[in-house]
Chains A and B, each alone.
Chain A
Amino acid sequence: MPAVVVFVAVIAIFALAYRFYSTYLAEKVYALDPDFVTPAHEFEDGVDYVPTNRHVLFGHHFTSIAGAAPIVGPAIAVVWGWLPALLWIVAGTVFAAGVHDTGSLVVSVRNKATNIGTLAQDVINPRSRTLFLAIIFFLLTLVNAVFAIVIGTLFVGNPEAVIPITLEIPLAIFIGQYIRRTNSSALVPSIAGVIVLYAMILVGMAYPIDITGIAEGLGMSARTLWILLLFIYGWIASRIPVWVLLQPRDYINSHQLFIALGVIFLGVLIGMDTIAAPAFNSVGGARNWFPFLFVTIACGAVSGFHSLVSSGTTSKQLDKDTDARYIGYMGSLGEGSLALGAVLATTAGIGIVGLNWGEQYADFGTASETALGNFVQGVAGFASNIGIPISYGTVFAAVVVISFAATTLDTGIRLQRYIIQEIGEIVDSRTLSQNLNLATTLAVVFPLGLALAPAGGDGDTLAFGRLWTLFGTTNQLTAGLALAVIAVWVTRNGRNAMAQIVPLTFLLFMTCWALFINLREFVANRDWLLAPLDLAIFVLAGWLIVEAVLAIRGARADRTAPVESPAEK
């Protein structure tokens, strides 16, 4: 199958979905009203609440939701063949992510731009906010663990990327300081930053950094040493102000996102390459696509974290109620397009560089080990179609993924520290809530333990594939909670909530099933680190099901007296 056919077909489906399904959602389900006074107008203050041009807000929203996860999930999931992965990305994006992201935005806007956690408390019940925070706690723990592994794996496989990625840190700090201290243009330094970063790839290629010798001297693998170093970096990066490193690095990353998408899709259009993977693939390693596909691709099909963005800043800046369709739904389609790029890179792109797909995806364990390298090689293949040497394109792709993942890691550790501090406040421990060093250390120790946990069963040294699917389950639970909130709101307003209830039921069913199978495996393998974690997430899933069923039933009973929002009850 030519990759370009798949590309054109998926983009055509996305266009039709936007034209028809998003219109149905906007008109019949969310009843968007052009005359509704949005919080951006009602509370307009020029700072947080600002009516914003929809194209400007879309740019902000899309760059806020796009990241490394829609790349990693599909790169693993094509182990079941390209078709199941692609079908879930398309169906998930159209029928789950679009509904979820647009709905989160609409419900937030109709409730004075309240965030999703508070909405859960208001729309469902106060217990739901505790449930929300608990899911976020587990989600962040898994995020930090898996992205440390992602970066460690890419550093080991691409030692040429170490120098550019390392130098990106002082480069970003310099750009941030330069912009602030000289009042100069952000355009020239940030583009110069990207050019310098990509020039550093040449230096990295000349001087690859391989720490295997040092690691062996310390009695560990190179990846383990990288993971340890990354958490030390994460500890420091999460303690310094965001404007020193995080924000200026986003200047560079925002350019990289569009450059990477451009390279992938231009490569597909110019190269006319054929997909090397089978449409369906039987997988060894006791992993069935049903239900694991649906928790392996989370971001890229549907991601609960998007509800935080939609109900965070985006809802405060929505100019017109009707703009929610464009920003929320189109943002989801953008994320789905990134996942499509990952599928094409790992199934068609790797053929260009001469990799044997069957060997790279021999079983689930192999797939989870090689997935990131496959994506990197695939992008390098597409880059070669537009005249970029494969050796350079390989490091370029590794730099893009590591840049995104590194930002996620230090942001995730910082967020985890906040949650630990909040827990300290709840249990009235001033030491925990006010000692930043202690809170940050705790935020590092637990994901570090998970990242280094032995995998058990298949003899692998790390549990990346299993950790990734656990990450997927918690991400889907977050999406499930947001969908439940939206469904209750839609039902209370006397409209048909099937557009939310169907993906909600599907996600919770698949998530619980995957958690149950995982739990059996962990117990059988005597994995006493992951088994309790899985059990805890399973309990949260059960709790969410109970709350969702009770809330939707309650909302149906209340239908006789529909209200616009809880605030108006």
Chain B
Amino acid sequence: MTADGPQHRILLVREWDSQTSGSGCCGRLGGEDCDVGHPDTFAHSRSLMEAMGAVYRALRAELPRRTVDITVVDPRNMVWLVPSILRDGRRRGMGPGELWRQLTGGVRNGAIVVDGRALFAHDYENTDDAVDAVLRELATAS
């Protein structure tokens, strides 16, 4: 991140519950609290989202906003996600091979990416473990 803003960036890559492309302009599924649709429709995705939500809240409670930026990203948003991981990785001086490894790990559904390094995917049985790993990585990156 820039000198004026947060010094670290954490990306949480997880499903969003709503309908995305394709049906777009004239058909849309609702998720929670929407006019049409049913919450159960997205129960499968929501279980992943809610697990990641616990990690998000724990990290947000632990890390000050002025130094750490936490962004939740849909894994389909490759246009933004891929350059962001590459930019953060390059800033840490990663070579092409390492960048590719972090990129393929970082665009996984459920990945946590700390300053360009991919840490987790999918398994958040223990929120504390995820938070500890992020904090260790932040200490390394500083």
Q: A221 contacts the other chain (Cβ, under 8 Å)?
A: no
Complex contact A188–B26 (CB within 8 A) = no
Chain B residue with Cβ nearest A144: B27
Q: A412 contacts the other chain (Cβ, under 8 Å)?
A: yes
Q: B15 contacts the other chain (Cβ, under 8 Å)?
A: yes
Residues in chain A near residue B15, CB distance under 8 A: 247
Complex contact B77–A59 (CB within 8 A) = yes
Given B76, B79, B121, which contacts A251 in the complex, CB threshold below 8 Å?
A: B76
> Known: A115-B34, A313-B17. Is A186-B75 also a contact (CB below 8 A)?
yes
Mark the stretch among B90-98, B105-113, B134-142 that contacts chain A. Answer: B105-113
Given B24, B29, B50, which contacts A47 in the complex, CB threshold below 8 Å?
A: B50
Q: A337 contacts the other chain (Cβ, under 8 Å)?
A: no
Q: How far is the CB of A288 from chain B (nearest CB, A)?
A: 25
**In the complex, what distance in Å separates the CA atom of A419 from the CA atom of B22?**
21
Task: Report A163-177 residues with CB < 8 Å from chain B CB.
Answer: none
Q: A342 contacts the other chain (Cβ, under 8 Å)?
A: no
**In the complex, what distance in Å separates the CA atom of A47 from the CA atom of B124?**
14
Give the interface SS of chain A, mostly helix, strand, loop or mixed.
Answer: helix
Residues in chain A near residue B26, CB distance under 8 A: 67-69, 139, 143, 147, 299, 303, 305, 408, 412, 471, 475
> Known: A64-B28, A258-B79. Is A56-B71 also a contact (CB below 8 A)?
yes
Complex contact B34–A312 (CB within 8 A) = yes
Q: A418 contacts the other chain (Cβ, under 8 Å)?
A: yes
Mark the stretch among A195-203, A238-246, A442-450, A487-495 that contacts chain B. Answer: A238-246
Q: A70 contacts the other chain (Cβ, under 8 Å)?
A: yes
Q: How far is the CB of B101 from chain A (nearest CB, A)?
A: 11
Residues in chain B near residue A251, CB distance under 8 A: 75-76
Q: A537 contacts the other chain (Cβ, under 8 Å)?
A: no
Q: B131 contacts the other chain (Cβ, under 8 Å)?
A: no
> Known: A47-B50, A64-B18, A136-B36. Is A187-B29 also a contact (CB below 8 A)?
no
Residues in chain A near residue B128, CB distance under 8 A: none
Residues in chain A near residue B17, CB distance under 8 A: 48, 313
Which of B34, B41, B82 has the most A CB atoms < 10 Å from its CB? B34
Residues in chain B near residue A116, CB distance under 8 A: 35
Given B20, B37, B38, B108, which contacts A63 in the complex, CB threshold below 8 Å?
A: B20
Complex contact B109–A309 (CB within 8 A) = no
> Known: A46-B53, A255-B78, A258-B79. Is A242-B34 also a contact (CB below 8 A)?
no
Complex contact B19–A418 (CB within 8 A) = no
Complex contact B24–A65 (CB within 8 A) = yes
Complex contact B36–A408 (CB within 8 A) = no
> Known: A59-B80, A415-B29. Is A46-B73 also a contact (CB below 8 A)?
no
Complex contact A415–B27 (CB within 8 A) = yes
Q: How far is the CB of B135 from chain A (nearest CB, A)?
A: 17
> Known: A250-B20, A313-B16. Is A242-B36 also a contact (CB below 8 A)?
no
Residues in chain A near residue B75, CB distance under 8 A: 186-187, 251
> Known: A50-B56, A186-B109. Is A246-B80 also a contact (CB below 8 A)?
no
Given A70, A185, A335, A411, which contacts B27 in the complex, CB threshold below 8 Å?
A: A411
Chain B residue with Cβ nearest A55: B80
**In the complex, what distance in Å separates the CA atom of A185 from the CA atom of B77?**
13
Q: B2 contacts the other chain (Cβ, under 8 Å)?
A: no
Complex contact A63–B28 (CB within 8 A) = no
Residues in chain B near residue A48, CB distance under 8 A: 17, 31-33
Task: Report A239-278 residues with CB < 8 Å from chain B CB.
Answer: 241-243, 246-247, 249-251, 253-255, 257-258
Task: Report A394-427 residues with CB < 8 Å from chain B CB.
Answer: 403-404, 406-409, 411-412, 414-415, 418-419
The proximity string for B residues 58-75 relative to A, scoring 1 for CB distances below 8 Å and 0 otherwise, is 001000000001011111
**In the complex, what distance in Å separates the CA atom of A188 from the CA atom of B107?**
9
The proximity string for A residues 38-63 relative to B, scoring 1 for CB distances below 8 Å and 0 otherwise, is 00000011111010110110011001
**In the complex, what distance in Å separates the CA atom of A468 from the CA atom of B64?**
53
Residues in chain A near residue B41, CB distance under 8 A: 241-242, 414
Q: A560 contacts the other chain (Cβ, under 8 Å)?
A: no
Q: How far is the CB of B105 from chain A (nearest CB, A)?
A: 7
Residues in chain A near residue B104, CB distance under 8 A: 185, 187-188
Complex contact A308–B35 (CB within 8 A) = yes
Complex contact B122–A312 (CB within 8 A) = no
Q: A279 contacts the other chain (Cβ, under 8 Å)?
A: no
Chain A residue with Cβ nearest B106: A185
**In the complex, what distance in Å separates the CA atom of A404 from the CA atom of B24?**
8
Chain A residue with Cβ nearest B105: A185
**In the complex, what distance in Å separates the CA atom of A63 from the CA atom of B73?**
14
**In the complex, what distance in Å separates the CA atom of A184 from the CA atom of B57?**
25
Q: A132 contacts the other chain (Cβ, under 8 Å)?
A: yes
Residues in chain B near residue A253, CB distance under 8 A: 21-22
Residues in chain A near residue B114, CB distance under 8 A: none
Q: How far is the CB of A169 from chain B (nearest CB, A)?
A: 13
Q: A432 contacts the other chain (Cβ, under 8 Å)?
A: no
Besides the contacts A408-B26, A414-B29, what 11 more A-B pairs have beta carbons closer than 8 Å? A60-B20, A64-B19, A68-B24, A184-B108, A190-B78, A249-B22, A312-B34, A407-B22, A408-B23, A415-B27, A418-B37
Nearest 10 interchain pairs by C-beta: A67-B24, A46-B56, A407-B22, A46-B53, A47-B53, A411-B23, A117-B35, A63-B21, A299-B25, A187-B107
Residues of chain A having any CB pair with chain B under 8 Å: 44-48, 50, 52-53, 55-56, 59-60, 63-70, 115-118, 132-133, 136, 139-140, 143, 147, 179-180, 183-188, 190, 241-243, 246-247, 249-251, 253-255, 257-258, 299, 303, 305-306, 308-309, 312-313, 317, 335, 403-404, 406-409, 411-412, 414-415, 418-419, 471, 475
**Would you give 16 A-B contacts (Cβ < 8 Å), ordered by A?**
A50-B56, A63-B77, A64-B21, A67-B22, A139-B26, A143-B26, A183-B110, A186-B107, A190-B78, A305-B27, A309-B28, A312-B30, A312-B35, A404-B23, A406-B22, A415-B27
